[in-house]
Amino acid sequence: MTIKDRISEKFSALFSGHGAIYMSAGRINLIGEHTDYNGGFVFPGAIDKGIWVEMKPNGGKSARVYSLDYGEYAEFGMDEKDKPSSSWARYVFGVCREIIKRGYDVCGFDAVFSGDVPLGAGLSSSAALESAFGFGLNDMFSLGIPGFELALIGQATEHNYCGVNCGIMDQFASIFGKAGNLMRLDCMTLEYEYYPFAPEGYRLVLLDSVVKHELVGSPYNRRRESCERVAEKLGRKFLRGASMSDLEAVRADISEEDYKRARYVIGEEKRVMTVCDALQKGDYETVGRMMYETHRGMRDDYEVSCEELDFLNNLALDCGVTGSRIMGGGFGGCTINLVREGVYHDFIDKATVSFASRYGHAPKVYDVVISDGARRIG
């Protein structure tokens, strides 16, 4: 039974009848990690894994929502005082509240949702959830909210209801994803450009360490604060556009930790632009080298890797994988790997056996295809 079928079956059992079905994608980011909140560039794409939701108006003033994956039900009103206690329901509530804050009306509705984007793997399941509900509510109630605003609504939900000071990349990719294309997004201006991505002879594969990260609290926020301190010292709003010589000029006035965080971000901005040029030339070997450099920077300067992810990255290098790095905020999750067809099976076999031997469980393997973002599917 497909996810769509399971959702429809549960929806009918809980609420009778059927509603409209919406889907929004998780995302990969080929290059450009922790650059979004620094005003830089990122290079994401939507994938063929995400969140599905069936919903319909219920004629009342409350939302009644069931999560198939958690096996939990939540019911809440639309006022600030009605915030639900369960963390997954706060994402849905937050989307409703952020839409209402912008002057739109959200009436009561019933919904059931589920997904196949792995939780805690760096594929932005939260943005997929926010975008699926945001897109669905916009369509169902004919609100007329532009796509950019839907992405900002998802981001504001993270900030105001979930305690994560995220950038805009995840929600943007979930809304604007296009099959067979990656997007270079300027996180300062929100200008974007599609880049065709269908490399012949290569696969994109994610290896999930099954180490779960929790960003609330938060080592993520502390790194953002480091970048903000250095940007202020440089007389900038963001680190975007700063050079290594700029950073060296203020090194004596900042902590060593803040210096390392900024060094990573400045280098990552340059790597994104190098990858753009390489893709235009079909030069996937250069793309791969930049991915390995990003991993080293996230490991040594941004310090968001972990032993399991470093193990997978080193194994990829030993197996001749073209490119490999941590993907997502870090502290667990996946590596993203650009793998030539000729080494794919050897790499997966060795990664599965070696990782299981060392850590007691095999990594989960996800081949991903670049797909469309938020849309109505039924």
In this structure, what CATH number is given to the domain that contains residue 292?
A: 3.30.70.890
Co-location of 152 and 213 in the same domain? no
Whole domain around residue 348: which residue ranges? Answer: 199-367
Single pTM value for the model = 0.84
Residues 56-66 have pLDDT tens digits of: 999 999 999 99
Co-location of 224 and 359 in the same domain? yes
Co-location of 35 and 176 in the same domain? yes
Co-location of 41 and 116 in the same domain? yes
Co-location of 341 and 361 in the same domain? yes
Co-location of 170 and 214 in the same domain? no
Co-location of 116 and 60 in the same domain? yes
| Residues tagged active-site | 170
Number of folded domains in the chain?
2
CATH of the domain at 114: 3.30.230.10
Do the beta carbons of residue 143 and residue 133 sit within 8 Å?
no
Quick one: tokens of 71?
């096996």
d(CA 328, CA 3) in angstroms, rounded, equals 25
pLDDT score at 196: 85
Co-location of 190 and 204 in the same domain? no
pLDDT score at 161: 93
- Helix (H) or strand (E) holding 279, with range, is helix 256-280
pLDDT score at 272: 94
Low-confidence ranges of the chain (pLDDT < 50): 216
Co-location of 184 and 207 in the same domain? no
Nearest Cα to Cα of residue 124 among 98, 155, 93 = 155
Co-location of 31 and 126 in the same domain? yes
Co-location of 174 and 233 in the same domain? no
Co-location of 49 and 72 in the same domain? yes
Give the list of residues 6+ apart from residue 169 with CB closer than 8 angstroms, or none: 27, 29, 32, 36, 42, 44, 185, 187
Quick one: tokens of 84?
């639900």
